[in-house]
Structure 1
Amino acid sequence: MAVDLPITLRKGKAKAILESSVDSALLAIEIYNKPRTAFRSEGYIAMMVIAWTKLFHAYFQATIGDRYYHKHSNGRFKTKDGEKLAWELSACVRKYGDLSEAVKMNLKFFIQLRNKIEHRHINKKEVDVAIFGECQSFLFNYENFLIKLFGDGYALHESLVFALQLSHIRSGQQVLANKSALAKDVQNVKKFIDDYRNSLSEEVFNAPEFSIKLLAMPRVSNTARGDLAIDFVPLSQLSQEDMETFDQVTALIKDKKVKVEGSNVGKLKPGGVCEAVNEKLVNEVITTTHHGWIVRVFNVRPKGNADDPFETDTRFCHYDEPHDDYLYNDAWVDFLVSLFQDGKLSLDQIRAVRFSQGEIGLEPDDYM
């Protein structure tokens, strides 16, 4: 339905949810900017995910009412600990729909990274440095979306500060932190970050909505005493001469983003699909056996003895000829998550279709 934006809230549940969202964002900023915060990335990401989720919930409460909850196939609400199970952030993004690709990819990045950081024992400082640009965009996007939905009165006017750098004094703790960068868990997280960035198009990767890129340069002459030590200037406001100078400097000092051609990058085997889906589900757990049923029911790939093994539903699956097996993509994971979270089909229903109709499949489009 069409909604006039921004929405005016005076009192009630939507306003309470929105105020909780803003409080979560402000707490995220406070956590990030405290100099002695031990779990900066974890705390900031966790609170910003809550802030984004509650922001969507406030919007849905104001526009569609109390209907942003997962349901079983029989129409009853799913519950957890006696409470109705509300749409999580990934579901909110899908339901809202009207976000730019760069904003969506920034959100997806933090939803996935949160799980990786929370389940690993690493020195978080290395991660803090690696994702500062994405963290800044995570906040800017939130504030822009907040203002778009509910008006300028909710603007945060906050930002993340730079940490002061001690370049010459190295303590024993810093040396140990550098050594920990070689730990397997840190390397796994860094590999995820690199792989995710390399999977993006140039347009999305370079968009400030995905990651803010900053260049800090000291002013060594002609500097007025009242000038700010750091000044943020949008690239669009630079002159052509300044842009040319900027390009020359960044060509010399920036880390080069190298794209390496690879085979089956980002593709998943059935076990990987099940793991990715189960991370996002609450009341359902699927196994590779269940996955085999679902694949047959929706006919996303042919039988093992098919004359043409390449006859797959290429939206979700493709045949890997060198290894003679089938691989699946993120769209297939999202489809399965939506299938179960929204109560469109249950495992019992899928099993019944599988054994009653054999290889006769259902149409994925009917469940999207």
Structure 2
Amino acid sequence: MAHARWHHIVMESQRHALKAVDEWNCSDGNYSDFLTHMHKAWHYLLHAEFRKDKIDYHYKDSKTGRYKLIDGEPKAWDLEWCLKMRYPNARDIVRLNAELFVALRNKVEHRYEHNLKIVTGGKAQALVMNYEQEMVAFFGSKYSLADRLRFPISLQALTAEGRKQLQEAAKKLPKHTRDVVAKFEADIDQAVLDDLRYDYRVRLVPIVGSKTEADLAIDFVKLDELTEEERKVMVEAGRKGMVIIKDRHVEVADKDKLLPKQVARQVEAQVPFEFHIQPEHTEMWRRLGVRPTAGAADPYSTDARYCVYNEAFKSYAYTPAWVKRIVKEIGTAEKYRAFFGKEPRMKMVIPLPKQAVSPTEESGSHPRSKSA
């Protein structure tokens, strides 16, 4: 059976994706090769989509309308342009993730590959998962790579010594290499940076108890498929660093958290003007993206550094760091004015009443100074 041209392009795309993952998981794999193969995997995938949809993906001269040629053949769109055509929104999370690795491919230095691989691990995981989801969404589940990819075994992720090595490796990156990522992310919203489609991070929780034949060594769960209680445990574990060991866990969900009234009171104690829940506090968390508005589809979508959602009470609690952030943002009259666009209401200073003084005290003598 003869396949359409787009099918062969998909097969080439998958070949590069598998090579990329092999390079990443191999103990002596090459980070540059991973970047190159994933670049080609995405490039061929989008070309296959365009071809299947009968979209001409070749450059044309804007004046003549003729194809631009390379070695006598029409020049195909590069990956950056393909991403722009597939994801027209410049803030699209999948597009941003892929564009980061386009930038890294052009800048990576061989001697810092290992360190850069460690720093970008979650983003690379997201790059591969986004590729798989794009493949299946467009061409169907029969083109999935899920049955050919395995979860890697990593001592670095499973031992304290390994984690220390990871942290040390990240510190050794030279400034100009770190800046590749830092500059790329400078104007990206925090909500995007925290999204799993941009940076895929996981927490491994050892499974204990009896094992059935259906159990897998690695099992992924979706939050929307859990019960309310299970969801609460998993979300807090991911956001707040809960450590689950065997049949007990350390719950840190609401420790040291503050209610809005407490936040306002602590802030007002540190600034020279009045600070209230309404309108100041509400406007600050809304404008700084600390938590979603009431009735949001996902109430858990908070900036966990400053705020967490309490499932039991259907309300939000704030961290001491949020108080510090508020004071830093609007702690002076000038900063308040710049943030809110209005004058702060300064605290009233009530003078202490002058203490009454007896005639004897005014004369400078003390009643007890008299001799008995």
What is aligned with 2:211? 224
Partner-residue secondary structure (3-state), 1:215: coil
1:101 has 2:89 as partner: no
What is aligned with 2:50? 60
Question: What amino acid is the match of 1:110?
Answer: F
- After TM superposition, the structure 1 stretch with the greater mean CA deviation from structure 2, 237-246 or 161-170, is 161-170
Q: What are the Cα deviations for residues 23-47 of structure 1, in whole angstroms up to 9, with x where unaligned?
A: 111221222222221x1x3212211
What is aligned with 2:103? 112
1:124 has 2:113 as partner: yes
Q: What are the Cα deviations for residues 304-333 of structure 1, in whole angstroms up to 9, with x where unaligned?
A: xxxxxxxxxxxxxxxxxxxxxxxxxxxxxx
For the 8 Å contact 1:205–1:211, the answer to whether it is kept is: yes
Asked which structure has the greater CA Rg, the reply is 2
- How many residue pairs end up in the alignment? 235
1:1-368 matches, within 5 Å, as: 11-37=3-29, 39=30, 41-64=31-54, 67-72=56-61, 73-97=63-87, 101-117=92-108, 120-157=109-146, 158-159=148-149, 161-165=151-155, 167=159, 178=168, 181-182=171-172, 184=174, 187-197=175-185, 199-219=187-207, 221-224=208-211, 227-253=215-241
Q: What are the Cα deviations for residues 48-80 of structure 1, in whole angstroms up to 9, with x where unaligned?
A: 111111111122222236x32112232232233
CA distance in 1, matches of 2:68, 2:42: 22
For the 8 Å contact 1:35–1:163, the answer to whether it is kept is: no
CA distance in 2, matches of 1:84, 1:63: 19
CA distance in 1, matches of 2:26, 2:160: 22
For the 8 Å contact 2:151–2:218, the answer to whether it is kept is: no
Task: Determine what percentage of the aligned residue pairs are the same residue.
Answer: 23
Partner-residue secondary structure (3-state), 1:24: helix
For the 8 Å contact 1:216–1:230, the answer to whether it is kept is: no
Give RMSD over aligned pairs. Answer: 3.3
* TM-score normalised to structure 1 length: 0.55
For the 8 Å contact 2:20–2:38, the answer to whether it is kept is: yes
CA distance in 2, matches of 1:192, 1:96: 24
CA distance in 2, matches of 1:241, 1:198: 37
* TM-score normalised to structure 2 length: 0.54
CA gap of 1:249–1:16, structure 2 versus 1, over 3 A, is closer
Question: What amino acid is the match of 2:102?
Answer: I
For the 8 Å contact 1:17–1:55, the answer to whether it is kept is: yes
CA distance in 2, matches of 1:150, 1:168: 42
Partner-residue secondary structure (3-state), 1:231: coil
CA gap of 1:183–1:87, structure 2 versus 1, over 3 A, is same
Q: What are the Cα deviations for residues 170-221 of structure 1, in whole angstroms up to 9, with x where unaligned?
A: 9xxx98x95795353xx323233244445322332232222222011334x5
For the 8 Å contact 2:132–2:144, the answer to whether it is kept is: yes
What is aligned with 1:348? none
For the 8 Å contact 1:33–1:160, the answer to whether it is kept is: no
Question: What amino acid is the match of 2:192?
Answer: V
Question: What amino acid is the match of 2:19?
Answer: L
Give unmatched runs, 5+ long, in structure 1: 1-8, 255-368
Q: What are the Cα deviations for residues 57-109 of structure 1, in whole angstroms up to 9, with x where unaligned?
A: 122222236x3211223223223344332101111122234678111111111
